[in-house]
Amino acid sequence: MNCKEQDYVLGTHDAEIGRLQLQHGVWRQHVQDCWQRSGIIAGMRVVDIGCGPGFASADLAETVGSQGHVIGIERSERFIAFAEHHCRARGAQNVSFVMADVMQDELPITDADAIWCRWLAIFVSDPQLLVSQMAGMLKPGGKLIFHEYVHYETYQSIPPSTRIEEFIIHVMRSWRDFGGEPNVARFLPAYLAAAGCRVLETRPISFSAQPHQPVWQWPASFIDVNLQRLLDLGLVDADWVTAVKDDMRRLEANPNALLITPMVLEIIAEKI
């Protein structure tokens, strides 16, 4: 595994790809509604920045149609390979991928109609630079669209679990140790203004789910996959991981339990 794969705080392994696919399924309706309100239509040139395994890229390809084009930008070789295979399997011929680090590499894109950015700004060391890079890829009047966390601490269980609360603290600390900021959306409006963009619309999004509801699987799968990731990083021990899993089993056996997801801020902005 190369160094760019190793420094993905959540990893690029099979379990993480599976979790990302589940996550995209949960969010798909909300995302497509956001794209529609942002004005993404057939024929447009759209960038999926930090595209990961390409699940959103394939959906964007359907949205812009055969006369449009989607460019996925991703620095993980493993994610790029999966994204190309996934888009081929979906029959998406109007997608191309660029392997690049948006924080370091020069990107030959200057006339995009829109840029979609989901859960990328939380992991970069300089989100203001990211916003500036995105604005530079857009034509005037182009849209910058974000789904980023604004209040990660809303991630919780009912009834409360001390172990799950500790898990959230470990996750936030690990992201910050890697140079990111879990609540980065708090700063994005100011960064957008500095980059010559104006915010058109914002919307907070959070879910709550009982064990029998499909949405439960999104926050639950994050806990399951990232317990192992925290263990692999040496940030927790095996006994603590077992204790968290025991708490999750008790919650799943309680029909009145809830998992509440971390709050996302949806931002639709326009380049002036």
Please determine, for residue 4, whether its predicted confidence score (pLDDT) is greater than 60: no
Starting at the earlier edge strand, list the strands of the sheet with 258-260: 156-158, 258-260, 208-209
**Could you read off the pLDDT of 161-205 as tens digits, one per residue?**
999 999 999 999 999 999 999 999 999 999 999 999 999 999 999
Residue 17, token pair as written in the block:
């790809």
**Residues sharing a CB contact under 8 Å with residue 94, sequence separation 6 or more, in sequence order:** 61, 64, 65, 66, 68, 69, 70
Section 260-272 average pLDDT: 98
Contacts 24+ apart (CB under 8 A), 102-109: 102/49, 102/50, 102/73, 102/75, 102/130, 102/133, 103/129, 103/130, 103/133, 107/73, 107/133, 107/137, 109/47, 109/71, 109/137
**Domain boundaries defined on the chain:** 3-271
User: Tokens 């109007």 sit at which residue?
Assistant: 94
Q: Which fold has domain 3-271?
A: Rossmann fold (3.40.50)
| Spatial distance between the Cα atoms of 81 and 85, rounded to a whole number of angstroms | 6
